[in-house]
Each structure stands twice: as C-alpha cells, then as structure tokens.
Copies of this chain bind each other. A is one copy, B any other.
Amino acid sequence: MKTASAGPEIERLISLLAKLPGLGPRSARRAALHLLGKKDALMRPLADALADAADKIRACTECGNLDVADPCTVCAAPNRLDAAICVVETVGDLWALERAGAFKGRYHVLGGVLSALDGVRPEDLNIAKLVERAAREEVSEIVLALNATVDGQTTAHYLADRMADCGVAVTSLARGVPVGGELDYLDDGTLAAAFRSRSSV
C-alpha cells in the first residue's frame, strides 16, 4: 500500500478508495492518479456528489428504499398498485427489478437475510414493518423476490410463516432456465425446478 513520497493526503485518499467494492490497493492508486489528473472534470464533482448524497439520501421509513424524499418516490407514486408488495434483500435488488420493469406495485427492503452464521436475527431486519404493511386492507399479495441462496430461502419460509395470518397471498419468483441460458451449463437444482414447473407451449 505504501506509495512513498506522495504525502499523507494521497495515502489517505488511496486507502479510502481501496475500501470501495471492486477496487484493491493497486486500482485505488490508479484511480487516485486518474482523479488528480482530472481535478475539475471529475475529482471536485465527485467530492461534491458524495457529500451531497451523504446529506440528502436516507432510507424510506415506509419501505427502506434509498431516496431524498421520505416516503420515497416509489411509495409516493400515485400510479403504482397498492395491492402488491415485492420484498427484496437490498436496494440494489430493487433497482434491478425496476430496470427490468417487471413490477408495478410497492417494494419492501429487508436490509439483508436471516443468517445463523452471520448472527442476523429477525429483529435485525425490517420485518415488523413488513408484517404491519401486509396486514393492511388494500394489500392482497406479497411477492418474495429474495436471492435463491440457502439464507434467502430460509428467510422466505420465515416470512411466509409470519404473514400466514395476514390474509395475503405470499408468492415467490419462478425458478427456471434464465433467458439465453444453455441447459448444459445449468446446475441440477435449476434444471429439476424448471422441469417441475414446465408449462404448455
């Protein structure tokens, strides 16, 4: 990590950049030099954008989405369905679903999944609020869009149990062959699930 003769200002910048996911010590050095070569075009705007976003962006108290407004744009949108709530692990998953344009209801961000290994318990997640929202009269379906991992599925089962008395339909995303996927490269579990859920052409 030592860059030598660069002074503590650059060292500090590099060590902070190296904490970003996707950047290591070497690429952080490269990024720092790139930034110092484009002070007005990139470095100062990035500093401003970081400070600005840190001040303005917060978690929506209704759904956990990140936005400058609270309730967030999705929760406040008048043209979205109130009948369905899509449960996701992270805001990144919410963005992915919005990019796909697959869902026109509201979201609920859990902020993670249950994990015995990492010590994540139900009270560590945004679950109480979800149960409260699920019990509302206008809500008829909860779509669990959690990752198809062991922890994701454990969490899905836990949530389905918790909402059993809310009188809502609890659904989850389909398992199957991804678009563009080749059968030969798919794992056995996915193939078996796709076979079980086959549909008429």
Contacts and interface: CB of A to CB of B under 8 A. Distances in A.
Interface of A: 2-7, 9-10, 12-13, 16-17, 19-23, 27, 29-36, 39, 42-54, 56-57, 65-69, 72-74, 90-92, 94-95, 98-99
B9 A52 contact: yes
Nearest to A52: B9
Chain A contact residues: helix, strand, loop or mixed: helix
Contacts of A90: 33
A53 B10 contact: yes
Contacts of A17: 20, 46
Given A47-B50, A57-B36, A29 B68 contact: no
A76 to B, nearest CB: 10
